[in-house]
């Protein structure tokens, strides 16, 4: 497509000279043009949104990472990886258990000014703490979260109020995989932003994009309401674009199966012209996948999906090194200016 466009440009403007086209297996990477004795080096690059638009889709929503919470994210990631007691085993599993217990608390329907709060009946909360080993685990983690300043616990009028420091911490402590997603997102940003790339997290893709260019046939969720059209959407944990290559990254902080491979593969192939890269980042795959691990890993290889395992046991630099290799990124910062 780029070569066709460059050919049209040169045909219509005889004073423009095209030379030094650098291409790779997946794309035209750079080209140079000259006009009025001035040379212009251009690096081909799309943002995440531009790539989706080119493939007929649009971004319905994406998550914003609060850069003021980077220290808190680092501390929470350390808890996920190392626990609050180094004698613990299967540490990401314990993080998942505690965050799931927080999520499943029976939140009372009380109007609160602070939307970062959860309110439960005090008796229900006390019963949870007394529910055997799980209750002890939950109590220990909650006390640790209080000491770290992530949340406050107060009892009033037979209710226990759990107030989180901010919305991002609330999401991390009530969604098991959110901390892994944010960690990998920040590392990807560190890798590609200096190269002129783009990175988004928690991206919800609307398959047929803008209504004006949508599917020719639309079904309704309510046949009485002509405006109740149904959008086909998918959420991708992390979307990265560097130059003209798209990277679809799925983060798994617990169990998953082959269905996740097919889901990632179909979305990537649909919105990258078949040239995108599919990556799954996991913690503790031996524990979470069990006997199915080798079968799933082999299927991933056959589907050209890269799996980076055991992230919780690796340093930031080790993770970035693996991502850089899989994404085929240069080691040094690019000195080119991206257009």
Q: What is the pLDDT of residue 337?
A: 39
Burial level of 304, CB count in 10 A (0-12/13-18/19+)? exposed
Longest dimension (CA), the chain: 81
Residue 187 reports pLDDT greater than 90 = yes
Q: What is the pLDDT of residue 331?
A: 75
Residue 296 reports pLDDT greater than 50 = yes
pLDDT digits (tens, 9 = 90+) for 166-182: 999 999 999 989 999 99
Residue 135 reports pLDDT greater than 70 = yes
Contact 296, 309 (CB under 8 A): no
Residue 44 reports pLDDT greater than 50 = yes
For the segment 292-306, the average pLDDT, to the nearest whole number, is 95
Residue 35 reports pLDDT greater than 80 = no
For the segment 184-201, the average pLDDT, to the nearest whole number, is 94
Residue 285 reports pLDDT greater than 80 = yes
Q: 240: which 2 tokens? A: 């990265």
Chain centroid to CA 105: how far?
26
Q: What is the pLDDT of residue 332?
A: 56
Q: 159: which 2 tokens? A: 């209710």
Residue 56 reports pLDDT greater than 50 = yes
Q: Which of 146-150, 259-263, 308-312, 331-335 has the lowest mean pLDDT?
A: 331-335
pLDDT digits (tens, 9 = 90+) for 110-122: 767 778 999 999 9
Q: How far apart are CA 194 and CA 174, in angstroms?
A: 32
pLDDT range class, residue 1, cuts 50, 70, 90? low
pLDDT range class, residue 26, cuts 50, 70, 90? very low
Q: What are phi and psi of 274, to 5 degrees?
A: 85, 0
Q: Structure pTM? A: 0.84
The pairs formed by 61-69 with CB atoms below 8 angstroms and a separation of 24 or more are 61/202, 61/203, 61/204, 62/200, 62/201, 62/202, 62/203, 62/204, 63/200, 63/201, 63/202, 65/168, 65/182, 65/185, 65/186, 65/201, 66/166, 66/168, 69/166, 69/168, 69/169
Q: What is the pLDDT of residue 310?
A: 92
DSSP string, 32-58: EEEETTEEEEEE----HHHHHHHTT-E
Q: What is the pLDDT of residue 91?
A: 82
Q: Assign residue 196 a region: left if phi > 0, alpha if psi is -120 to 50, beta otherwise?
A: left
Burial level of 235, CB count in 10 A (0-12/13-18/19+)? middle
Residue with tokens 């300043």: 149
Q: What is the pLDDT of residue 334?
A: 41
Average pLDDT for the chain = 84
For the segment 5-16, the average pLDDT, to the nearest whole number, is 60
Residue 14 reports pLDDT greater than 70 = no
Q: Give me the domains of the chain, ranges plus CATH numbers.
A: 2-44 (no CATH), 49-66+183-327 (3.40.1350.10), 69-174 (1.10.10)
Q: How far apart are CA 30 and CA 36, in angstroms?
A: 20
Chain centroid to CA 208: how far?
21
Q: 293: which 2 tokens? A: 């691990």
Residue 338 reports pLDDT greater than 50 = no
Q: β-strand 17-23 against 305-308: which pairing, if any?
A: unpaired
């Amino acid at each position: 497509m780029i070569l066709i466009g460059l050919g049209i440009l040169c045909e219509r403007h005889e004073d423009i000279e095209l030379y030094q086209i650098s291409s790779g297996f997946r794309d035209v990477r750079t080209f140079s043009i000259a006009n009025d004795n001035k040379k212009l080096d251009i690096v081909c690059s799309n943002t995440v949104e531009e790539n989706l638009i080119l493939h007929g889709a649009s971004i319905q929503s994406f998550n914003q990472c609060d850069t003021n919470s980077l220290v808190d994210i680092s501390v929470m990631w350390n808890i996920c990886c190392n626990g609050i007691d180094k004698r613990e085993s299967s540490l990401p599993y314990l993080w998942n258990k505690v965050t799931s217990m927080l999520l499943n608390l029976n939140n009372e329907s009380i109007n609160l000014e602070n939307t970062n709060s959860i309110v439960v009946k005090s008796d229900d909360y006390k019963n949870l703490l007394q529910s055997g080993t799980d209750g002890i685990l939950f109590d220990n983690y909650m006390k640790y979260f209080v000491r770290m300043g992530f949340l406050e616990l107060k009892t009033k009028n037979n209710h226990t109020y759990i107030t989180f420091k901010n919305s991002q911490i609330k999401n991390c402590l009530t969604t098991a995989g959110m901390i892994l997603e944010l960690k990998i997102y920040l590392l990807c940003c560190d890798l590609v932003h200096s190269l002129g790339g783009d990175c988004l997290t928690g991206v919800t893709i609307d398959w047929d994009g803008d209504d004006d260019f949508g599917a020719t046939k639309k079904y309704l969720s309510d046949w009485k309401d002509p405006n109740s059209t149904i959008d086909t959407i998918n959420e991708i944990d992390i979307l990265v674009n560097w130059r003209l290559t798209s990277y679809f990254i799925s983060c798994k902080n617990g169990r998953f199966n082959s269905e996740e491979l097919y889901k990632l593969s179909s979305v990537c192939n649909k919105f990258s012209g078949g040239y995108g890269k599919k990556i799954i980042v996991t913690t503790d795959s031996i524990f979470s996948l069990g006997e199915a691990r080798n079968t799933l890993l082999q299927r991933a290889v056959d589907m050209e999906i890269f799996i980076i395992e055991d992230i919780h046991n690796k340093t930031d630099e080790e993770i970035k090194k693996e991502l850089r290799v899989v994404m085929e990124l240069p080691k040094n910062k690019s000195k080119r200016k991206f257009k």
